[in-house]
Each structure stands twice: as C-alpha cells, then as structure tokens.
Amino acid sequence: MPLEPLSQKDVEDRLTELPGWSLDGDSLTRTYRLASHFAAAALVVHIAQVQEELDHHSDLTLGHHTVVLTVNTHSVGGAVTEKDFELAGRVEELSSGHGAR
C-alpha cells in the first residue's frame, strides 16, 4: 500500500499523542535533552537502529547534551505520513530508557 501524506488536521490530532513533538514546516520534530554527551550519542545509535528496522530514516542531530530528530517522508514530497508517526512513537518509547527528557 503506497504511503499518502496526512492532512494538516490528522497531523495536528496525532501530535496530541506525542508530547514534546511539534510540526515544523512539513516535518515532525523533537529535541531530547540528556545528562551527558555520551548519553546523547547512545540515544542516536539506538534511534539509528530503529530507523534501519523501519527502513525509514530521518534527520538526526547530535548536540552537546541534545538530540534533535526531524521526520518526514521524502518519497511523498517531504510530507508527514503514518510512517513518520510510527518512527516518532518508537523513539518516544525508547528515549526514557536513555534518561531523555
């Protein structure tokens, strides 16, 4: 089944299920704050593993004590799809185990 862009309303409704996430242009985005650079790097590796499992890759930025994730679906012109919410949800599930807030 081909991916379809979600409507603005669908995106806004679904964002209520993901505290800390927001819509920035045509992308979902979230900044995680961690206790150390090493903890942030470990979270990046774990996110990369999930991206490989889902075959859905996002922009991922490692900062001093932060990780920024920006998600959209390039194959539908950079819009937000169900696959983006799947990735965001998986990252939310694992982030607390890294001490992210």
Strands ordered across the beta sheet of 22-24: 22-24, 27-33, 66-71, 59-62
pTM (predicted TM-score): 0.95
Q: Give residues with Cβ within 8 angstroms of 46, minimum separation 6.
A: 94, 98
> Is the pLDDT assigned to residue 5 strictly greater than 90?
yes
Please report where in the chains the tokens 């607390």 appear, as a residue: 96
pLDDT (tens digit, 9 = 90+) per residue, 47-61?
Answer: 999 999 999 999 999
Six-digit token string for 98: 């890294």
pLDDT (tens digit, 9 = 90+) per residue, 52-99?
Answer: 999 999 999 999 999 999 999 999 999 999 999 999 999 999 999 999
- Which pLDDT score, from 0 to 100, does residue 84 have? 98
